[in-house]
Structure 1
Amino acid sequence: MIDLLLPADVSSAHTRAETVPDGALFPEEEALIAQSVAKRRNDFATARACARRAMAGLGLPPTPVLHGHRGRPLWPEGIVGALTHCTGYRAAALARATDVLSLGIDAEPHAPLPTGVRELVTLPAERERIGPPLPEGTGDIHWDRVLFSAKESVFKTWYPVTGLELDFVEADLTFRRIAVPGSGDGSRGPVAEGTFAARLLLTDPALPTTLHGRWRVEDDIVATVVLVRPDWRKETAS
């Protein structure tokens, strides 16, 4: 599903598998999770299996994907990218730095946010725009979860460029829904897609003050992406 939201010069891969065969990790990666519980190991390994497939899509050999501050993945020189994992979905997206300045991806289960989380991750204006939370099984879009995922993609785009952490209430998001042709009968939940704009309340000259992204809901998963081109200043000026 992530691939439907990304341009052709971004290589991506996804899986719904919860595990990968033993030996799929490099020794350096194994060392990072040697003491981790099974879920953490599975999340780590399946996301890196996706990363290796995305590397192949760029003509790159498979390499270890280690991590830096707060788990930020460390990519080969000249490559930018992002990983995501949630129950039932893992994905990676990579691009050459000559084509993409920074990108972020995120996947979440399409369900209401846990009690209390909505107020922590949204601004009052955002809550007014997306409306009240919906119970599960309504067949409509859980906008609070879409918003949460979109902010995760915003943060993954922001941090590698600025080196600063962005709080959930430092980005104000608005959403647009677009028609999805051939969206099916909805037997596995709604299929919907659209765009969003994230107005940054904390700004940095290295990035535009508004980041733009895309979102999609399908098969009970929310996926979001944000991408900034190296020439974004020219695009902003035009």
Structure 2
Amino acid sequence: MIRGVLPDDVVAVTFDELGMSDAAALAAMYPVEVEQIGRAVESRRIEFAAARACAREAMSRLGVPAGPITRGGRGMPVWPPGVVGTLTHTGGLRAAALAPVDRVRSLGLDVEPHGPLSEGVLEAVSLPEEAAWVRAARGEDSAVHWDRLLFTAKEATYKAWYPLTRRWLGFADAHITLTPTDVDGATVSGVLISRILVDPRAVDGGPDLVEFRGRWAVRDGYVASAIVLRPAGGG
């Protein structure tokens, strides 16, 4: 399902593809990675290691030498020169998506189990008009947990935003529009637009980050949102 929300020039790898055990992923971490995550609970260390194993496989497919992927500001991964990427891990699914910097300016991917948010969480992560839209959408199509989908779109927005600004982006700092476009059997998918409501200036010398566009999908018990921001003049 992840490949369904990403273009062909973005390399996506899930942990299931690797045929690797959790123990092997932990053993494959670089010392600096172990140092950064060593005090976390075991489940968190496994997620950290598995996502990085996916990223290193993606790096290999892009022809980038393997190396450590450390945590930078706000916990965001620090990528080697020449690539941009994003990691996600939740409920047994661990994945990475990477692309060359000459094709992609920034990436954001978030995957969550396809279930409703806990009581009160929608109001905490949405603008009032977004929450009203979710409630209306529930009445039209209860098969999709629109609140969870909105949450993944917010998370994908932040993941694409932070590497280019080094600034926090709160849930109320971007307005999300979700439009269904396709229903194919058990898969529902569509497009998302994330309109930035705060200072859009970037630190990479590129255009202001006024609006992000991406795709979303619901399939196999998961919901995923992805944003791919192209460089100025890119395809």
RMSD between aligned alpha carbons? Answer: 2.1
What is the TM-score normalised by the length of structure 1? 0.87
Q: Does 1:94 align with 2:98?
A: yes
Partners in 2 of 1:5 and 1:191 — Cα distance?
12
1:174-220, CA deviations, whole angstroms, 9 ceiling, x for partnerless residues? 11111233x2xxxxxx4211111111111313333111111011111
2:168 maps to a residue whose letter is E
**Any runs of at least 4 consecutive aligned residues in structure 1 with deviations exceeding 2 A, and if so which?**
15-20, 205-208
Partners in 1 of 2:27 and 2:92 — Cα distance?
22
State the partner residue of 2:46. Answer: 42
Shift of 1:168: 0.1
SS at match of 1:74: coil
Q: Does 1:198 align with 2:197?
A: no
Partners in 2 of 1:212 and 1:20 — Cα distance?
37
1:192 maps to a residue whose letter is V
SS at match of 2:74: helix
Shift of 1:18: 7.9
SS at match of 1:77: coil
Q: Does 1:152 align with 2:163?
A: no
2:6 maps to a residue whose letter is L
State the partner residue of 1:187. Answer: none
Partners in 2 of 1:127 and 1:202 — Cα distance?
20
State how 1:19-168 maps to structure 2 within 5 Å. Answer: 19-21=22-24, 22-131=26-135, 140-168=143-171
SS at match of 2:56: helix
Shift of the 139–119 alpha-carbon distance from structure 1 to 2, 3 Å rule, reads closer
Partners in 2 of 1:208 and 1:165 — Cα distance?
14
Q: Gaps spanning 5+ residues in structure 2: where?
A: 203-207
Partners in 2 of 1:53 and 1:20 — Cα distance?
17
Structure 1 contact 20–49 (Cα < 8 Å) conserved: no
Partners in 1 of 2:37 and 2:150 — Cα distance?
30
Partners in 1 of 2:23 and 2:187 — Cα distance?
28
1:153 maps to a residue whose letter is A
2:10 maps to a residue whose letter is V
Shift of 1:28: 1.6
Q: Gaps spanning 5+ residues in structure 1: where?
A: 184-189
Which structure has the highest helix share of the two? 2
Partners in 2 of 1:43 and 1:229 — Cα distance?
28
Partners in 2 of 1:133 and 1:23 — Cα distance?
45
What is the TM-score normalised by the length of structure 2? 0.89
